[in-house]
Chain A
Amino acid sequence: MAIAEAEIDRKALFETIVRLGDNTLILGHRVSEWCGHAPVLEEDIALANVALDLIGQTQLWLGLAAEIEGKGRSADDLAYLRDAPAFRNVLLVERPNGDFGQTLMRQFLFDAWHLPMLEALQGSADERIADIARKATKEVTYHLERSSDLVIRLGDGTEESHARMQAALDDQWTYAGEFFVADDADTSMAEAGIAPAPASLKPAWDATVDAVLKEATLERPSGTFVHKGGRQGRHTEHLGHLLAEMQFLQRAYPGAKW
C-alpha cells in the first residue's frame, strides 16, 4: 500500500513538473515565431529574449521531470519526441500569435499567473522545485512588468490599438481560466505541500489583471465559460501544427546534434 501511494505521488509530481515545463516550452516556441517579424526592432529583441528565458526555464523543468521519471529520457526527449496528447500545457499558450496585440495580451494573462505560481513554488516541499522557482521568479518578474506596461500603453493608446487590445482580451478570455481548475494530480501535490492549489492563485491573478486592465481602459469580460483540457492532454488543433515545426528536425534525423 505504501509503495502504491508513493508511486501515485511520483506520477503526480512528474505530471506537475511537466505541466510547468510544457507551458514555458510551448509559449516560448510561440513567442520565438516573432523573431524577425516584430513591428519594431526593440520589440523583436524583447520578444526573442522573453522566448529565450522561457526555453531556458523549460530546460530546468523538463530536466527535473526526466530525472524524476527515471526512465532514461532527457529534457530534449520530452520536448522533441512526445506527441500532442502527452503535452500538458494550458490551451492559452498554444493559441496562434495573431497580431502583436494578441501576442501581448496572451503574454500578460500568462505572466499574471506565472509570477504568483513561481512565488508559491519557492516554498515547495521539494527543494529542487523551489530552486528552479527562485531562479525563474527573477526573469518572470521582469516579463510581467513588460507585458503590463505594453498592455497599458496599447489599451490606453490610439483608437485602433485600444480596439485591438479589447478584441484580443475578449478573444482569449475563455482560455485564461484553465490555470485555476484543479484535478487529482493538483490536489495530491497541494496536500503534499509541493505545489499550490490552482485556485489559490486566482486572487493574485485577479488583482493584477483588474489593476492593469483599469489603467489600460480595457473592459474585463464578464463571461465565466472556461476552455480546458490542455493540462490533461486534450489540445486544440493548433498544438499539432506547432509540434510539426518544433519537432521536425529530431523526427526526421533522430539524434541529430548541433
Chain B
Amino acid sequence: MHPETGQIWKWLGEIPDPEIPVISLTDLGIIRDVHWDEDTLVVKVSPTYSGCPATAMINLDIASALKGRGVEKLRLERQLSPPWTTDWISAEGREKLRAFGIAPPGTVEAERIRKLAGEPPLPVTCPRCGSQDTEEVSRFGSTPCKAAWRCKACLEPFDRFKCI
C-alpha cells in the first residue's frame, strides 16, 4: 500500500521554498499534479522562471523529503504549460510573504484589465507600515521573481513579488 496522494500533498506542503523559506512549495503553487503510476509516484513541478537557479534545489528537496517518508520510486516531471503564474500563490502564502516583509503580487488579470483601460497599476502596499506611498526602485530585486521597492512613508526598502 502506498500513501494516498492527499498525504503526499501535505508532505509537499511542509517543504520550504529554498529562496523564500517562509512559504512552502505548495503555497508557491508550483506543484501541479501528484499521482501514482503503478508503484511510481509522479510529481509534476512548474518552474517559476526558466533560469531560476532554485529549480534544481527544489527537485532535490522534493526527492529527499519524499524518500524520507518512505516513497521508494519517484518521477519528477517538469510541466511547462500552462506556465506558472503568481496567481497560483495561495492566499495563505501571500499573507506569509507580507509578514516576512515581501509585498505579495497583485493578480495578473486585474493588472491586465487596468493596463487595457489605460489606468495606472494598483498601488503597492508597504509590507512594513501599510502605507501605499511607495515607489519602484528597480525592475529586479534579489531574485528573478522580485522587484526592488521603497516606502516613502516609513523610508524602508522592500522586495515586491513580481506579478507574472
Chain A residues within CB distance 8 Å of chain B? 42-43, 45-46, 49-50, 52-57, 59-60, 127, 130-132, 134-136, 138-139, 142, 145-146, 149
Contact = CB atoms under 8 A, between A and B. Distances in A.
16 contacts: A43-B138, A45-B141, A46-B139, A49-B140, A52-B144, A59-B50, A60-B80, A130-B81, A131-B80, A131-B81, A134-B80, A134-B81, A134-B82, A135-B50, A135-B81, A146-B139
B153 to A, nearest CB: 21
Contact of B137 (A42, A55, A136, A139): A42
A139 B49 contact: yes
Judged by DSSP, the binding face of A is helix
Nearest to B138: A42
Contacts of B140: 42, 45-46, 49-50, 146
B66 interface: no
B83 to A, nearest CB: 4
Given A42-B138, A42-B148, A135 B51 contact: no
Nearest to A51: B51
A55 B52 CA distance: 10
Contacts of B137: 42
A56 B80 contact: no
Contacts of A42: 137-138, 140, 148
Nearest to B146: A49
A53 B138 contact: no
A139 B142 CA distance: 16
Interface in B66-116: 80-83, 85
B82 A49 contact: no
B164 interface: yes
A139 B145 CA distance: 10
Contact of B164 (A59, A131, A138): A138
B42 to A, nearest CB: 18
Interface in B29-66: 47, 49-53
Given A52-B144, A56-B50, A142-B164, A135 B138 contact: no
Q: Ordered nearest first, which 4 A-B pairs have the shortest CB separation?
A: A56-B51, A56-B50, A42-B138, A131-B81
A142 B139 CA distance: 8
Interface in B130-164: 137-142, 144, 148, 162, 164
B87 to A, nearest CB: 12
